[in-house]
Amino acid sequence: MRLKKNLKKKVYLNGSLVFEDKAAIPVFDRGLLYGDGLFETMKATDGVIAFKAAHIKRLQKGARLMGIPAAPLRGFFRDVKAGCLERLIKTNALDRGQAYMRITVTRGNAPCAISPPLQKGGLGGDLTPTVLVVTKQMNANALLKQQRTGVKAALIKGYCPSIPWIKTLNYLPNILGRAEAARKGAAEGIFIDADGCATEATAANLFIVTRSGIKTAPVYEGTPGKGVLPGIIRSAVINEARRLGIPVREGRIRQTELLGAIEAFLTNSCIEVCPLVAVDGRIIGSGRPGAVTRTIQHAFALDI
């Protein structure tokens, strides 16, 4: 499908659909100044947003964990129930084929200071959060090629996200990790923590296939610096694998386990299930997408 380049697109901003070049966010918005916010990335196919309810639930939980008051966001969530996300997709002529959608929520506009105003309702309890939703067309052919042939990754040390349980705007570790991977000729980077364990990719969860089944790193359980983002596709893949009778175990993945895995794959909302065929120049398994990965891909595609 030819990418649509000429249509003047709109965004959702604080309750209204406005043209991209007319959308304005205050210069003192805390998301801009401090990365004080969170986001969700979703994928729509022919106008239908995959796992929308799960993404919205995670967004609500993340906002609560950040102390962003619920009351000012109720209008946005009412808009979501009323179909504002689907309406934006259709307005931008993205209701045929695959579309990318990102929801960004910041704590809001406040005087320039690291500490937000402390109110009864939460951190910055009297602030009005900024809510921005943007869309773009996805390159379906490029995604399909990755899903069919797999991607190569590089091991990245020293950049592990410190708050993996919230999908925050503080994305510098991921940006630097992805840049380092690109310098090494890889499409993705796999974070290696201080204990030498592989945690997740810069923009995806990591799974390996061993003789005993599938293994993935555990989500955050309260220990600083430990655990990974509770990915929406990660959860769906775990459920699908168990439904198929494939054993799934959550546990720390040693670097040697990753490099010696029979297969490996990555998951996120855009690539869904993508084979990982090499890491730091070392072939994973046969160097081609494996049987377990293909089984998961096929079952996942049938269910969404």
* Tens of pLDDT, residues 166-196: 999 999 999 999 999 999 999 999 999 999 9
Of 92, 123, 138, which closes a domain? 138
Of 92, 117, 138, which closes a domain? 138
Closest CA to 97 of 125, 69, 131, 137: 137
- Domain co-membership, 122 together with 176: no
- For residue 164, give the 3-state DSSP assignment: coil
Residue 52, pLDDT score: 98
User: pTM of this prediction?
Assistant: 0.92
Residue 244, pLDDT score: 96
Q: Domain containing 270: what range?
A: 143-303
Q: How far apart are CA 287 and CA 276, in angstroms?
A: 8
Q: Residue 221 pLDDT > 70, yes or no?
A: no
Residue 153, pLDDT score: 99
What is the arithmetic mean of pLDDT over 236-246?
A: 97
* Tens of pLDDT, residues 134-145: 999 999 999 999
Of 97, 118, 138, which closes a domain? 138
Structural domain count, the chain:
2
- Domain co-membership, 200 together with 51: no
Residue 188, pLDDT score: 98
Q: How far apart are CA 276 and CA 205, in angstroms?
A: 11
Confidence label for 125 from pLDDT (cuts 50, 70 and 90): low
- Domain co-membership, 192 together with 126: no
Bridge pairing between strands 197-201 and 188-192: antiparallel
Q: At what angle do helices 291-303 and 232-243 cross, to 10 degrees?
A: 110
What is the arithmetic mean of pLDDT over 245-270?
A: 97
What is the arithmetic mean of pLDDT over 74-79?
A: 98
In a domain, 230, yes or no: yes
Residue 237, pLDDT score: 97
- Domain co-membership, 78 together with 187: no
Confidence label for 7 from pLDDT (cuts 50, 70 and 90): confident
Closest CA to 172 of 207, 134, 215, 202: 202
- Domain co-membership, 100 together with 35: yes
- Domain co-membership, 192 together with 211: yes
Q: Residue 223 pLDDT > 90, yes or no?
A: no
How does the average pLDDT of the chain come out, rounded?
A: 93
Q: Residue 303 pLDDT > 80, yes or no?
A: no
Q: Who wins on pLDDT, 126 or 193?
A: 193
- Domain co-membership, 81 together with 177: no
What is the arithmetic mean of pLDDT over 191-215?
A: 96
CATH number of the domain residue 51 falls in: 3.30.470.10
Q: In this predicted structure, which of 64-73, 94-103, 272-281, 291-300 has the lowest mean pLDDT?
A: 64-73
What is the arithmetic mean of pLDDT over 253-257?
A: 97
Q: How many CB atoms lie within 10 A of CB 107?
A: 28
Residue 225, pLDDT score: 58
